[in-house]
Structure 1
Amino acid sequence: MRLILASNSPRRRQLLTDLGLPYEIRLLEVDESFPAHLRRVEVAEYLAARKAAAYAAGLAPDELVITADTIVCLGDDVLNKPADRAEAMAMLTRLQGRAHDVFTGVCLLAGDGREVLFSDQTTVHFRELSPTEIAYYVDTYQPYDKAGAYGAQDWLGMAAIVRLEGSYFNVMGLPTHRVWAELAKLDALPPHA
């Protein structure tokens, strides 16, 4: 099967490359709103499935599209990508010194109609952060394309994460262990795997 990554995320691209999976990028604009009644893991899976559905008609029988959506949850509150500096500062102020959950929903949709939808959860524990540290991070890294206003792989992740329960790669945006296992079940791994 030819793999299609439907993501503009450089982190997801790097993770698939590091797994040794050949893929091509295809991008479509997809509305990322979700019904207000959805909670936590339901949001990530809903968005991943919605993104995959947008690609369904354009898939050849030997193609498989990978879509994903990562959300950060503090309690039942979903913290999406911040709209601006003020929202990023507010999100990080809420997250500092606390544990929160990161959910990534993934949809694997094959051109022959097979579909697998799953998600992974990681609990992330942040240390207390000063307002100066939060401002430095937001101003230097401008995390406006990241759920929860941070990336585990950059400065804030290195300086603030004290413990993870679950997959680090899930926090980066793709639960690689689950993706690999599900691709294997679909017989969609490259011959060398």
Structure 2
Amino acid sequence: MELNYKLILASNSPRRKELLSGLDINYEVVVIPGIDESYPDTIEKRQVAQYIAQKKAAAYGDYLKENTLVITADTVVILDNKIFGKPANEVAAKQMLRELSGHTHQVITGVCLTSAEKQHSFSVISEVRFCTLSESEIDYYVTRYQPMDKAGAYGIQEWIGYVGVEFISGSYYNVMGLPIQRLYRELKNF
């Protein structure tokens, strides 16, 4: 795909870098530390990821030179109208996985495409069902894989995905953190 833009990925996520690299397009990673990722309590839960992606995009105003396009994204996990972001520590990670165990949850990634001329954002929703996980499986995964940088305290592409995911409806790559097929179409149309 040929883009008329210099592409900036505003993320340090190795998964997002890997997925975007899979499109065979050139991009550069630029990360501004300390962007506020809070959201108002009044916002509908399914809109949170897109809201945060747009909020991240607002921080990149200085990078919006002519023919530059910034991609920002955020992923959340939702179970029973409760948002599971990134866990603060191992205790929180284990608690998240206990709650997700044996249930179907939603993974929502919001993506925002921003240039100096325009902005377009979208969200993609996938559903994931975990089998019932034992305490030893949860302990093993959290201790070994340290999923504190992942929404919902898990990476579907890691051990926990191999042994715990019974069912997925929607984009697998969305669950990894970037709905790459949809992003490809949106970039072509941008």
Matched with 1:126 is: 130
Aligned length: 185
Residue 95 of structure 1: which of 88, 91, 100 is its match?
100
> Which residue identity lines up with residue 116 of structure 1 in the other structure?
H
Residue 9 of structure 2: which of 5, 11, 19 is its match?
5
**TM-score, length-scaled by structure 1:** 0.94
CA–CA separation in structure 2 for the residues paired with 1:57 and 1:83:
30
- Identical aligned residues as a percent: 48
Displacement, 1:57?
3.0
CA–CA separation in structure 2 for the residues paired with 1:184 and 1:40:
29
Does residue 117 (structure 1) correspond to residue 121 (structure 2)? The answer is: yes
CA–CA separation in structure 1 for the residues paired with 2:80 and 2:120:
27
The aligned runs of 1:158-173 (5 Å cut-off) are 158-173=162-177
> Which residue identity lines up with residue 170 of structure 2 in the other structure?
G
Aligned CA RMSD, in angstroms, stands at: 0.8
User: SS of the counterpart of 2:88?
Assistant: coil
Displacement, 1:56?
2.0
> Which residue identity lines up with residue 102 of structure 1 in the other structure?
V
Deviations 1:40-68 (A, max 9, x none): 22100100000011102321111000000
Residue 54 of structure 1: which of 56, 59, 82 is its match?
59
User: SS of the counterpart of 1:121?
Assistant: strand
CA–CA separation in structure 1 for the residues paired with 2:45 and 2:174:
15
Contact 1:41 1:105 (8 Å CA) reproduced: no
Residue 21 of structure 1: which of 22, 25, 31 is its match?
25
> Which residue identity lines up with residue 183 of structure 1 in the other structure?
L
Deviations 1:95-126 (A, max 9, x none): 01110000000000012x21111000000010
Moved over 3 A (4+): none
CA–CA separation in structure 2 for the residues paired with 1:31 and 1:124:
28
User: SS of the counterpart of 1:92?
Assistant: helix
The aligned runs of 1:76-91 (5 Å cut-off) are 76-91=81-96
Contact 1:65 1:109 (8 Å CA) reproduced: yes
Displacement, 1:36?
1.2
